[in-house]
Amino acid sequence: MAVTFSRKPAYSVAVSADDREHGDLRARILAAAANPFIGASAAAFLFLLSLALLVLVTGDPNKGSPLVRAPLDKLGTTKNIPQGWREALVPEGDREAPLLPGALDLSNLPFLGHADEPAEADAIVAPSPIAAVTGPLPAAPLAGLYAPGPGGGVLPVIAADGRTAAEAYARPFTADGRPRVALVIGGLGLNPQTTRAAIETLPPEITLSFAPYAEGLQGWIDLARSHGHEVLLEAPMEPVDYPANDPGPYTLIAANRPEDTVRKLEWLMSRATGYYGLTNYLGSRFVTSDTAMTTFTLALKARGLAFIDDGQASLRGGPIPRASADRIIDDELAAGSIDGQLKMLEVGAAGRGQALGSGFAYPVTINQVRLWAAGLAGRGLQLTPASAMAKR
């Protein structure tokens, strides 16, 4: 007789009605899962659910908003920008246009016109000239010298009585007959340590210029003026190696139409208030264009501003207060080299009666300038703000 062996347990179990129903349900689920269309739909649902959870955890609520991303590592007259500028990126303060391009429309007063007088609570009375020289400069903006600008900022205008920003925001100065030396330290606002060091340790006669892309820009300018420094705003201009060397999204391009140049200028100028003029950042191509520089100069004239350059535009005049640096003091980042350039400024001042230098806010530059300025009077020279060098 044949015997059959089985691997299953040698017992039998009675199947109830509920068990039969659960078995039918499992069978139907398995059958549905085997359907390729239903399986694909379920997989897509799970993917979307996972994506939604990921966005909730790591998503950026500001994605999709227009945002300026400037190559800040390239801002400076030399390479190797100091570390730490990110710490200066604080929220914008009052009167500071945001770092959003928005609509680059012309302002209501693109060239001409006077600002309305502010409300009595906003009016600011300038201190006497003596107080301005020996203490803080008056807080900006001054009554009658501003109008609304792009992005909620303000733009400088010529006041109804003829006052200009170039006059009102410059540091007052009285010549004493000695040869004069002036210095502009630029690239400020990007590195909090060097910016604060320049503001707080350099003599108030040193002119400070600020990068327009720095966040918290108005706060830095207010701090500089509270320490007696007059302020310039840097205008990024097209260099000969653009776009390999890109000064940022609002670079003034030589071949742009005049209205495009004015739009960019207005955004730059509306970033803050309290500066008496503009200075160039790069610009070796822009300053050689007659058309571009004519547009630039007329825009500054209409807004009552000066133009102080680092020497690249020394052949450019114009109907605005102008001055060009005789030398850049820190092309070579070494204390001895900087000292040598500062000495050459003194020689130039002794020979011509005045000399203007330009430098960048590197720690070594700030330290050497501080030491140099401390002994300048003893060497028979007068330290002056850059605005005192400006001529029409």
In DSSP notation, 262-309 reads HHHHHHHHTT----SEEEEEE-TTGGG-HHHHHHHHHHHHHTT-EEEE
Distance CA 230, CA 137 (A): 8
CB atoms within 10 A of CB 153: 24
User: Beta strands of the chain (E only): which ranges?
Assistant: 146-148, 154-156, 180-188, 207-210, 231-237, 277-282, 306-309, 322-324, 327-328, 354-360, 382-384
* pLDDT at residue 133, rounded to an integer: 56
Closest CA to 211 of 72, 316, 332: 72
* Cβ neighbour number for residue 213 with a 10 Å cutoff: 25
Q: CATH top-level class for 176-389?
A: alpha beta
- The token pair that represents 56 in the structure block: 């909730």
- Of 299, 308, 316, 236, the C-alpha closest to 278 is 308
Tokens of 357: 């230098």
Domain borders along the chain are 176-389
Cα–Cα distance for residue pair 178/353, rounded to 1 Å: 8
**Following CA atoms 27, 29, 30, 36 in sequence, which dihedral angle do they give, to the nearest 10 degrees?**
140
Q: How many CB atoms lie within 10 A of CB 115?
A: 20
Q: What's the CA gap between 289 and 256, in Å, rounded?
A: 11
Phi/psi for 214 (5° steps) reads -70, 130
Residue ranges in the chain whose pLDDT is less than 50: 1-20, 54-92, 95, 101-132
What span, in angstroms and rounded, lies between the C-alpha atoms of 57 and 264? 38
3-state secondary structure of 389: helix
The pLDDT of residue 153 is 93
Q: Is 254 in contact with 286 (CB distance < 8 Å)? A: yes
Identify which of 171, 185, 169 has the alpha carbon closest to the alpha carbon of residue 277: 169
The pLDDT value recorded for residue 41 is 60
pLDDT of residue 244: 96
